[in-house]
Amino acid sequence: MLSRVAESVYWMNRYMERAENYSRFLDVNFQLSLDLNEDSNRQWMPLVYTTGDNELFFRKYNSPSKENIIHFMSLDTENPNSIMNCLIRARENARTIRENISTPMWEVINEFYLTIKSKRRFDESDMPGIAEFFKAIRNQCLLFYGCQEATISHDEVWHFALLGRLLERADKTTRILDMKYFILLPSGENTGSTLDLIQWLSLLKSASAHEMFNRFYTRITPKSIAEFLILDKIFPRAIRFCLSKTFDSLKTLSGTEKDSYGEETEKKVGVLLSEMNYASIDEIFTSGMHEYLDQLQVRLNGIASQLDETYFRN
């Protein structure tokens, strides 16, 4: 398989996953602002810190208002990680590998692009329209994943698509968790308050995890949410699940036996996954939740860099 094709399908999926995650973050926060009837900087600015684009934001905007942040993360073409730019890059990657993906996949991503391209600015008086915009993005991304699942062979192209989606998803789960634990950590008097509980609920909804969480846990607590989103083995947005499926795809691509590894990316993922298999949430909290998530982000970036070096630079 050509490294050019592998890289394009990998990044096509990373960008689609990033666009979907941003729409989740923004929509949940938007709905929360309506429920709480407030647009405080404390509520909105953490989203920009979560994506790591805070320096660019403050160079462009004077105020971290709801309107500015929604525009910056959704439609701002000068923000390389905005939903608009993610879609532009995903489409460009898809265009360069048309012969390796199905016609339904191309049609979904192209129609998605043409729909979003016409959007320039949100009408602040059209609250239902903003909510529908974010819902449409999520639905289009899910439609794209469904087309990919059903219309291309589950060969090397498929596995590189999975690698892009899973690594992006794991990274965003660490970031949204870290936002709550570190940036939004309440003062002592607010811990356990109604606002604190609503924020925890919004975190679960940001990962579309609320209903699945309720199947296994009876109480919403910081530890139970962290355990579910970090260590759960069967929820598709949990970090451990993403790493497990990443490891499976890497093993398929390298063709190595179960107890060996063929290249360094496999080793990095295998070591991290082994550590998570024996980790407990109590140990993670004792050692420091923010520090643990920060190290996870560093190691996920290391895995992505190693993957790039191994498969895309040859």
pLDDT above 90 coverage of the chain, percent: 62
Cβ pair 228, 238 in contact under 8 A: yes
- Sign of the dihedral defined by the CA atoms of residues 185, 188, 193, 197, in that order: positive
pLDDT at 91: 97
CA-CA distance, 156 to 166, in Å (whole number)?
Answer: 15
pLDDT at residue 181 greater than cutoff 90: no
Spatial distance between the Cα atoms of 32 and 40, rounded to a whole number of angstroms: 11
The pTM (predicted TM-score) of the whole model is 0.91
Nearest to residue 24, comparing CAs of 246, 222, 237? 237
**Separation between Cα atoms, residue 314 and residue 312, nearest integer Å:** 6
Confidence tier at 25 by pLDDT (50, 70, 90):
confident
Q: What value does the mean pLDDT take over residues 232-251?
A: 96
CA dihedral 141, 76, 53, 126 (to 10 degrees): -70
Q: How far apart are the C-alpha atoms of 28 and 25, rounded to whole Å?
A: 6
pLDDT-based confidence at 303, cuts 50/70/90? very high
Least confident of 65-69, 110-114, 155-159, 241-245: 65-69
Residue 39 has pLDDT above 80, yes or no: no
